[in-house]
Amino acid sequence: MGRLNGKVAVLTGACGGIGQAILRKLISEGGKVLAVDLSEQGLAAVKSKQGDAVDTLAVDVTDYDQVAGMMSRAAERFGQLDIVINNAGIGSPKALLEHDPVADFEGVTAVNQKGVYYGILAGARQFKRQGSGGVILNTSSVYGHMASELSFTYNVSKAAVDMMTKCAALELGAAGIRVCAVAPGRVDTPLLRKYEELGLWEHIRKEQMRQTFTQPEEIANVVAFLVSEEANCINGCTVYASDGFENFKFPLQGS
């Protein structure tokens, strides 16, 4: 018996590094998952690796109608919706003074902030239609809490995720909906590999306390716990899964 036996989840960003690991973990815990992503090719690959416990749908999380559609699709396909995981996110490292004020603000904000807002809203409306409670888990980042270079809009968007998590938990608690967030530090996925293109890979690796990056499976373990009933008393907060990254000054050898 898994911790998520009989539970139905929607997972966005399901084709990414962290998303694929979460998907595998939810299935291994007995859950059923509507795996959602922009990438139709990625979804076809995901579907071919999974059995009947997974359905897939191409969705752009910046479009409310598509996000609402994914909630009802999960409920129709699997009978109900219990868990929404707003995990899709993008980053585009760039110095602030080099920003294009439209492209470098609106692109990241649309996915990371608006997409999570839409997921909270449409997920809660689906739970209300069902007459049930539910769990909403948002993927934040240590950079929702810490300032850092090259990542202005991303950090702002993740700070918004942290605040949306608190506000949603407060407003939705009476409806039996629990809302929390996970904040990864540096996880070895295509998103982080953008720092390799900038020639900063070794530099950021040495900034890690244990000189190594977190693996996507480690984040998936924390997510599976947070959406399970074992985490019932964790609500309205962001849980750091970061190897302590946000708590310490970078070691000297990283400078």
Measure the CA–CA gap between 58 and 88, rounded to whole angstroms.
12
Contacts by 157-162, CB closer than 8 A, 24 or more apart: 157/89, 157/108, 157/109, 157/112, 157/113, 158/112, 158/183, 160/112, 160/113, 160/116, 161/112, 161/113, 161/116, 161/238, 162/238
3-state SS class at 155: helix
Torsion of the alpha carbons at 23, 28, 34 and 35, rounded to the nearest 10:
20
Residue with smaller CB distance to ligand NAD, 6 or 190: 190
Q: C-beta of 23: minimal distance to ligand NAD in Å?
A: 11
Residues 6+ apart with CB under 8 A from 41: none
184 binds ligand NAD (CB under 6 A): yes
Of 54, 168, 192, 223, the residue at the interface with ligand NAD (CB under 6 A) is: 192
Among candidates 246, 250, 242, which has minimal Cα distance to 215? Answer: 242
Residue 183: both structure tokens together: 């904040």
Measure the CA–CA gap between 66 and 70, rounded to whole angstroms.
6
Mask 90-129, x = binds ligand NAD (CB under 6 A)?
Answer: x--------------------x------------------
74 binds ligand NAD (CB under 6 A): no
68 binds ligand NAD (CB under 6 A): no
Q: C-beta of 141: minimal distance to ligand NAD in Å?
A: 4
Residues 6+ apart with CB under 8 A from 115: 12, 61, 62, 67, 86, 88, 89
According to DSSP, the residues that pair with 184 across neighbouring strands are: 241
Of 3, 16, 94, 123, the residue at the interface with ligand NAD (CB under 6 A) is: 16
Measure the CA–CA gap between 149 and 231, rounded to whole angstroms.
34
Residue with smaller CB distance to ligand NAD, 88 or 180: 88
Q: C-beta of 125: minimal distance to ligand NAD in Å?
A: 19
Backbone angles phi, psi at 56, to 5 degrees: -130, 155
Of 12, 153, 165, 228, the residue at the interface with ligand NAD (CB under 6 A) is: 12
87 binds ligand NAD (CB under 6 A): yes
37 binds ligand NAD (CB under 6 A): yes
Mask 126-155, x = binds ligand NAD (CB under 6 A)?
Answer: -------------x-x--------------
180 binds ligand NAD (CB under 6 A): no
Among all residues, which ones are annotated catalytic?
154
The piece of 95-103, 179-187, 196-204, 227-235 that touches ligand NAD (CB under 6 A) is: 179-187
Residues that bind ligand NAD (CB under 6 A): 12-13, 15-19, 37-39, 42, 59-62, 87-90, 111, 139, 141, 184, 186-187, 189-192
